[in-house]
Amino acid sequence: MMKLYTYFRSSAAYRVRIALNLKQLDYEAVPVHLVRNGGEQRQTDYLALNPAGLVPTLIDDGNVLQQSLAIIEYLDEVHPQPALLPGSPAERARIRAIAQAIACDIHPVNNLRVLRYLVHELGVNDAQKNAWYRHWIAIGLSAVESMLAADPRTGLFCHGDTPTLADCCLVPQVFNAQRFDCDLSAMPTVMGIVERCAALDAFQRAAPGQQPDAE
């Protein structure tokens, strides 16, 4: 069985959990606590699997796989149905572009280790930290809203009427935004899609609160 090194609140791990569920693939969840014990992701055993010390890591058939988007692409190549990157090269590029607008342009700047650096190295206060967080969410998700609202290929989900890689990224990002009380009122397309995802079992079971390591 596949083994997923995960942390309930990590949005990168959350993306992979959604993809595994959409493909109805069973896996063993191995919790890596990012806060406790000085950060279990920095322990030697884990670093051997994931030199960056980040979650998730997926072990499948002896292959050690890192990076959430790379893992989901792998799952889609090995288990093609349901397709998380359907369509022509241009359509697949659109799905990837939406995913990367989240995974490259929003999430890394608001990652736990970046927020910690702001506080501990730059002496930023709580209000400044929250303003930082909301700034990158507002800019980043507005761009995603425009990409979605302006394009007839958007359907019930980010691309067409079935969930894709883009939805696997969007839902965890909006979860984070809500956790930090970001104003999402100007993002009706995004929020409509997130609502439709939330109605699906695959997304529900992947949610942070449903994980064995949830606090």
Chain positions contacting a second copy, by CB under 8 A: 47, 51-54, 63, 65-67, 69-71, 73-74, 77-78, 89-90, 92-94, 96-97, 99-101, 103-105, 107-109, 114, 117-118, 121-122, 124, 128, 131-132, 135, 140, 142-143, 146-147, 150
Question: Which CB, 98 or 202, lies closer to a second copy?
Answer: 98
Closest separation in Å from C-beta 194 to a second copy: 18
Question: Which CB, 21 or 76, lies closer to a second copy?
Answer: 76
Question: Which CB, 145 or 200, lies closer to a second copy?
Answer: 145
Residue with tokens 């959604």: 18
Question: Which CB, 89 or 212, lies closer to a second copy?
Answer: 89
Residue with tokens 């206060």: 125
Distance (Å) of CA 167 to CA 14, 25, 27, 86: 11, 18, 21, 13
Two tokens, residue 136: 């990158």
Separation between Cα atoms, residue 194 and residue 203, nearest integer Å: 10
Closest separation in Å from C-beta 52 to a second copy: 4
Closest separation in Å from C-beta 90 to a second copy: 4
Closest separation in Å from C-beta 200 to a second copy: 25
Cβ atoms of 6 and 31 closer than 8 Å: yes
| AA identity, residue 136 | W
Task: Write the CB contacts of 154 (distance below 8 Å, at least 6 apart in sequence).
Answer: 148, 189, 193
Closest separation in Å from C-beta 166 to a second copy: 11
Question: Which CB, 22 or 58, lies closer to a second copy?
Answer: 58
Closest separation in Å from C-beta 102 to a second copy: 10
Question: Which CB, 117 or 209, lies closer to a second copy?
Answer: 117
Give one word for 123, left, alpha or beta, with left for phi > 0 and alpha for psi -120 to 50.
Answer: left
Task: Write the CB contacts of 176 (distance below 8 Å, at least 6 apart in sequence).
Answer: 11, 107, 110, 137
